[in-house]
Structure 1
Amino acid sequence: MSDDVEWVDEEAGPVVRPYALTGGRTRASSSSFDVLSMVVATGAAAATAVHLGSEHRRLLDLVRRTRPIAEVASEAGLPMGVVKVLLGDLLDQGLILVRSPVPAATPPVESLLQEVINGLRAL
């Protein structure tokens, strides 16, 4: 049997339920995940004693370049909770890096916005 198991049947939908992909876990081992957190593979090889499922390997392929977790979940077609648990496994093994989203800057003062609008109208 090949390692590339097809987890989706075109007519029946998902063959394996999300809780089976995570071993029944509902939370990632690390709380450093935010929907907008950026994830990228480190390129490190997995330890030989570590068993990575096909979904883990699939996520590693998806994060070869830096991407937000929300995009990874969408591309993988998996629920966000499942992706966070699987990425937590990869983070524990040192196979990915996670960067928190940059906090939003303070919003501009209303008077400044009004001056910009007035300046544009004057053009």
Structure 2
Amino acid sequence: MIHRAVDDEDPDRLYTVTGGRSRAADVDLDLVTLIVSEADPVPGMQSEYVKVLRTCRFPTAVVEVASELGLPVSVVKILLADLLADGRISARHPSTVFRHGSGLPDSEFLKKVLVGLKNI
């Protein structure tokens, strides 16, 4: 049996990081929700918040943020909900780039994809 890093994580640390909470309050974030920093870290900010803000300078999926922080997704969702409530990040699901009802991508979105592919 392979043990992941989370198995070795100190439960007291996770409790402290989330302030004892086990769920994000009224925020619907899934694994592919894109997170973007809207503010810079401030002195005295919890280190996990600082890491999130630095990691999300460009759109980053929730699952990638969790990987970068080395924390369970459930813990990261709580941290993201806090930052979202403070206006320090924005979140959007990738499906919002599609036109309502058509099921086809918006032309502006496709242009951005083309530019991104050319930059690779």
Which residue matches 1:82? Answer: 75
Aligned residues with identical type, % of pairs: 37
Note if contact 1:36-1:68 (Cα within 8 Å) is conserved in structure 2: yes
Shift in Å at residue 19 of structure 1?
1.6
Aligned-partner SS, 2:51: helix
Residue among 61, 67, 77 paired with 1:68: 61
RMSD across aligned positions (CA): 2.4
TM-score (norm 2): 0.64
TM-score (norm 1): 0.63
CA offsets, 1:56-96, max 9 Å, x none? 11111111110100011011100001100001110000000
Q: How many residues align?
A: 91
Structure of greater relative contact order (alpha carbons < 8 Å, 6+ residues apart): 1
Unaligned runs of 5+ in 1: 1-12, 107-123
Aligned-partner SS, 1:102: helix
Unaligned runs of 5+ in 2: 1-7, 105-120
Shift in Å at residue 44 of structure 1?
6.1
Q: Which has the higher helix share?
A: 2
